Structure 1
Amino acid sequence: MKHTELLSPLNSERISLKNKMVMAPLTRSRSTQEHIPTDIMAKYYGERATAGLIITEGTAPSPNGVGYPRIPGIYNDHQVEAWKAVTNSVHKNDARIFMQLMHTGRVSHPDNMPEGSIIFAPSAIKPESTKMYVDGKGELEIPEPTAMSISDIETVIKEYVTAAKNAIEAGFNGVEVHSANGYLLDQFLNPKTNKRTDNYGGSVENRCRLTLEVTQHVANAIGVDKVGIRISPNGAMNDIGPFEGQEETFSYLTSKINNIGILYMHLVDHEAMGAPALPTDIRKNIRDTFNGLLILSGGYDAKSGNQDLMDNKGDLIAYGRDFLANPDLPQRFEKEAPLNEPDQETFYSPGPKGYIDYPTLTESTELA
């Protein structure tokens, strides 16, 4: 068997997976306008349950957390019920699935949000170089967000907890707290977007406070073995970018996250997207400090993923676009078969095209 380490099971005391391949979270915008999951989403995730672990697309924990058109939510009963078809579909194929809880913060537009929602951020600073797509209107300027009060922050923490409980009710094996890629929690971590002078801004400890409080409260609510977190040191998405003192920030954050005792940390490297490479010191510190499972993500192929596992740089390897276009990615890796190319035109369009019509290796052979 090729790529033996990558394709072999993970058997830890806390979770067992049939292989060490993770389907990375991918926004696909196939929910309804009311942010309710659809039938084709159950088919899509079920097809990709060849992965040992699936992490869903970013899912809004509250109406204020909705940034993009047609992304799913997990804040009402209709959404919880609709998600059950997804988790059932995945579990039938012996895979595990975590829901990524994504509050987009300032990366939003009122036209994409439920009526009465507010675009929140740590400070009233809008992203200058990022625009937001709105159905029927195209790319629009993002308005200045509302700086959160302490009461707003307390409410957001409660919303994450409720969302996590809802995810477990919907059949998920756990949740991933999204503290990466320039969304709300990452906005608090970064001094470029966080100009607060209270307990949630300024020092490293204060900027990390909200991420740590959300993670702790969610872990208290559903159990540490059902919680992961995603971080992107040196990330370059949504007008945020690297900052002075980031090594100290992520060293402190990792140490405190480790003390909470959650299942995994999901480390994103944006170098494959044109960002500066993740500094080796930060990567090594995270590996040395965090005692849970480490998921590595960013530009991997079968060979490089397998090698990093063999070199003990991480415990699991996440694949995004390769899983998007190849439901049977582990089989293709094992056979060293060619991969389907992803169709970027249909990444975020509604409907089944470019979503549930990528052929498996068997189907491709039959068509040939």
Structure 2
Amino acid sequence: MRLGLVVNPVAGLGGRVGLKGSDGEAVQARALALGARPRASERAALALTELRSRLPGDIPPILTAGGPMGADAVRAAGLVPEVVYKPQSRTTPDDTAAAAKALAPLVDLLVFAGGDGTARDLLDAVGTSVPVLGVPTGVKMHSAVFGVSPRLAAEAVAVMAARRARLIDAEVMDLDEEAVREGRVTARLYGHLRVPDVPVRIQQRKTGSSAPNPAAIGGIAAEVASRLPAGDLLVLGPGGTTRAVAAALGAAVPVMGVNALRASTGVTTGLSAVATDLSADGLAELVRSAPSWIAVTPIGGQGFLLGRGNQQISPDVLRAAGPDRLLVVATEAKLAALGGRPLLVDTGDDALDRELAGHRPVITGRGRSTMYPIH
């Protein structure tokens, strides 16, 4: 199988610094100024390293773009790159499109490392002329064209190399990042890309949901509050469910940020916001300053708890709080919509992901929880 690779070097740059995306040079410059570190190339290299272990014999040269757009990741994985496109010194979405157009006629599968914006660039550039598969390196990744993790993306490539996967049309979704920063969540379907049909290893697209039932949210909020000793911090991941929980506890927080409340009592009132739109570093500092609990809710349709849109809740943050203080909250309707599929974690730390895997209680109401698998 002839394999191509395109890496968007700045994908995900704004995630851990709390910028809710990485689109646009101004946002990327701000992310770097805040201390963001590019991770797309290393996650692409992780996928290729896993692929080496799964394919027998020598892997042929991987057709790719030069430098950080692919060749660096190929070499980091101990493989041989064949550069067919040389990007500008400063890569842009035009480079992504040009690299994809150059690679598409030459490969059987085009792997790309990026997020929803990168998927849109590929859709515009090559459409369904070549099968593609995304290594998740962006902030949100609501589209159904990505592996669940870099390692599982590699597994999907190996399955396709063995000719055991058919191709399907998968949705390319994206959020309006500027609207998100203004507190409005606006997503749309842009089209479809052809991807290998490898269940479990390829993520589902995010699905919309109706407004959470106030009674269910009130019960979840009451249960969460009852578990908080006075003075402890409650960190809330992004999402409509967690925002509604915050409102039920008396605090107004942004829908897409990671926010922290402080419990002044152990009852369902009296919690107040102490910090909003936190970065990973700011959150880690806050969590180390006081006993902290972290509440997250799965992304509708996908089931992701960590690693999609909440990269501020980094491995350092989770370890500082303690994995036993991770609270999963969801309405029964949201869990039912997953159709029995597991909840997912992709923190970027394999050891931590394994520690979080297994069965964990999901708080669904006052005094109610459901044991649910996490992969």
TM-score normalized by the length of structure 1 = 0.31
Relative contact order higher in (CA < 8 Å, ≥ 6 apart):
1
* Structure richer in strand, relative to its length: 2
TM-score normalized by the length of structure 2 = 0.31
